Amino acid sequence: MYQPKFTITSSIAKSLMRIEASKQSVTDLPITPQVLASLRETARLQSTHYSTMIEGNRLADEEVRQVIQKEEHISGKERDIREVKGYFTALSEVERLAKHSYPTEEQIQKLHALVEGAGARQVKPSSYRAEQNVIRDSLSGSIVYLPPEAHDVPGLMLDLFAWIKVSGQDALPVPLRAAIAHYQYVTIHPYLDGNGRTARLLTTLIAHQGGYGLKGVFSLEEYYARDLQNYYDALALGLSHNYYFGRHEADITPWVDYFCTGMADSFESIKRQAQKASNQGQNDQSNVLRELDARKRQVLELFVKSRDITTLDIAGLFQISPRAARKWCQKWVNDNFFVVSDPAQKNRKYRLAPKFETIVT
């Protein structure tokens, strides 16, 4: 099984403490569903813009917003539009997969298919490359990186996902797990295209599954995009361009340090944004929000769109069975969080109790 080599330096330890402090601060903020929905949408758009920009996408920030929110067409940038739609759709899948404990190969193969799918939601998981690929400098044509041969890819990927699961069971801090998974994924380079975008989605998924999703409002991609050369240099580690000449057994401490510093910077920026948003006219609802656990706060998002919801809405939000959703709803009625607005057996509807309805109106 894959065994990464790295050392937790004082710099990495400091970044981990900064990440934890910001995570706790954002978790404790009484952010209303309307504000949270807005922050999440902004984060998804930023992630899409910066992650595709790293790969050469030409759409500006506002153009990404136009393509995603207004479905506008921008002449002459068809490929860029397909990339943006694919990544945005894949981010939605990441949120759906967040309920699992660990990512699986098939899940990430599907994320890659969505990245390449130009916005299609029904895709088959991508098969790994069957040929050698070479990353060259766009100007000089010289080889920048020569990944492992195609016949080695399936075994390397199997080892990577086995390590991700075991490292989680061994309680390796989530930021370290995400950093190492990112490095090893792009090092294996399992596809001819879309590896960088999928690696960044894998990072985001591991963060969400490990409880570091910051309510879905974080985006790490801007940190990489601000200085692409640092990003590439950190991944390269100053080693040979050939995977087999030391890169597969390298000490990746410098990359882990770079990654954790970026995560800490991003989390602190998000904390400031979330604090500002929660303070803009929302203080009168803080005490009510603090009464609710994380699951109830998440349910509030459904009521932003509709005053009445069904058990199927609950089942879809949490990816649970309708039977389990019915039990939750009955418990929330008993807790005076829900009231029954339509008692029909086949399509029973629920509404927030008046005390909590003011939060979303």
Question: Which residues lie below 8 Å from residue 14, measured CB to CB, with a gap of 6+?
Answer: none
- Beta bridge partners of residue 136, listed in sequence order: 143
Q: What are the E-state strand segments in 317-359?
A: 338-342, 349-352
Helix/strand number for the chain, H first, E second = 16, 5
Residue 159's CB: how many other CB atoms inside 10 A? 15
10 token code pair:
């004082």
**b/e string for 196-222 if b means 16 or more Cβ within 10 A?**
bbbbbbbbbbbbbbbebbbbbbbbbbb
Q: Is residue 36 a contact partner of residue 194, using CB atoms and an 8 Å limit?
A: no
Separation CA 160–CA 1 (nearest Å): 7
Q: How far is CA 21 from the centre of its chain?
A: 20
- Give the helix/strand (H/E) hosting 145: strand 143-145
Residue 95's CB: how many other CB atoms inside 10 A? 15
In a structure prediction context, what are the per-residue pLDDT tens digits for the chain, which is 361 residues long? 889 999 999 999 999 999 999 998 887 777 666 677 777 788 888 889 999 998 888 888 888 888 888 787 888 888 999 999 999 999 889 988 888 889 999 999 999 999 998 777 788 999 999 999 998 877 787 888 999 999 999 999 999 999 999 998 888 999 999 999 999 999 999 999 999 999 999 999 999 999 898 877 778 888 888 888 899 899 998 888 899 998 888 999 999 999 999 999 999 988 888 777 767 645 445 566 667 777 888 888 888 778 899 998 888 888 788 889 999 999 999 999 999 988 887 788 999 888 888 777 6
Q: Is residue 296 a contact partner of residue 314, using CB atoms and an 8 Å limit?
A: no
Q: Give, to the nearest 10 degrees, the angle between helix 174-188 and helix 253-279.
A: 120
Separation CA 73–CA 168 (nearest Å): 43
In this structure, what are the phi and psi dihedrals at residue 350, rounded to the nearest 5 degrees?
-125, 150
Could you give the domains of the chain? Answer: 10-277 (1.10.3290.10), 291-360 (1.10.10.10)
pTM equals 0.79
Q: Give the torsion through C-alpha atoms of 58, 219, 46, 285, to 10 deg.
A: 180
Separation CA 165–CA 146 (nearest Å): 28
226 token code pair:
């601000």
Residue 61's CB: how many other CB atoms inside 10 A? 13
Q: Is residue 39 a contact partner of residue 273, using CB atoms and an 8 Å limit?
A: yes
In this structure, what are the phi and psi dihedrals at residue 154, rounded to the nearest 5 degrees?
-55, -45
